[in-house]
Amino acid sequence: THLPDMQGKRIVITAGPTQEAIDPVRYMSNKSSGKMGYAIASAAAKAGADVVLISGPVSLQTPVNVTRVDVVSAQDMHKAALVEANTADIFIACAAVADYRPESVAQNKIKKTSDELTLTFVKNPDILKDVAALPTAPFTVGFAAESQNVEEYARKKLAAKKLNMIAANDITAEGLGFNSDNNALHVFWPEGDKQLPAASKRELAAALIGLIATHYNENN
């Protein structure tokens, strides 16, 4: 795929899962591998952009010419993203951020003493929403992982979080989405949409960077 020229543009990307500590040896997380976000970082760097990749815990190599910032929890990712987004032209939120975290982290390993264990979770900050609400917000692109009513929910997120663009993936599709090498995206912006049919995450990342460049240039 032909990549646009993004020299001089600063692009910040979040990728991977977050881990939310329960006790010193346990956490809650999800199945994001980071592959989609890393492919986007790689495509953006190949297009000539200055790329910062804020990454949850994954086992992937840092793409060439990409600055990587490692984080663990949603709160860490939130902090790093707000710092980096201040000087970004484009922000792409591909991370699968935990919506909730345990209310408190047990100081010691939780013992197997009772038949039931109840944990209370509290809401994590919404990184994407807070970046889009910055006074000098970058061109902001969200992802939406949906299992039903993909278009309706994606358009709702686009409007509610005041995003410039959102890339929806249907996570129920066999062999696509979380932790696979392939994906399919349906990208929405206020005045239109485009389907990017099933392909490798590398190809989709290049197509997405192309779409972002077109709409970024229209807005700026």
Binding site for ligand PMT (CB under 6 A): 14, 16, 32-37, 74, 93-97, 99, 124, 126-128, 142-145, 157, 169, 177-179
Close Cβ partners of 15 (under 8 Å, ≥ 6 residues apart): 32, 34, 36, 37, 38, 40, 41, 53, 54, 55, 56, 58, 94, 95
- 24 labeled binding residue: no
Torsion angle in degrees (nearest 10) through CA of 59, 212, 93, 13: 50
Closer residue to ligand PMT (CB): 143 or 216: 143
* Least distance to ligand PMT, CB of residue 214, Å: 20
Residue whose entry in the numeric block shows the structure tokens 């707000």: 82
- 4 labeled binding residue: no
Closer residue to ligand PMT (CB): 5 or 151: 151
Active site residue 30: yes
* Least distance to ligand PMT, CB of residue 61, Å: 14
Closer residue to ligand PMT (CB): 22 or 74: 74
- 126 labeled binding residue: yes
* Least distance to ligand PMT, CB of residue 101, Å: 10
* Least distance to ligand PMT, CB of residue 14, Å: 6
- 157 labeled binding residue: yes
Closer residue to ligand PMT (CB): 110 or 173: 173
Selection from 115, 100, 91, 113 nearest residue 37 by Cα: 91
Burial 19-30 (b: 16+ CB within 10 A, else e): bbbbeeeebbbb
- 13 labeled binding residue: no
CB 171 within 8 A of CB 178: yes
Q: Check 30, 124, 169, 183 and give the catalytic one.
A: 30
Burial 145-158 (b: 16+ CB within 10 A, else e): bbeeebeebbbebb
Output the known binding site for CTP: 99, 109, 125-128, 143, 157, 161
Catalytic residue numbers, as ranges = 30
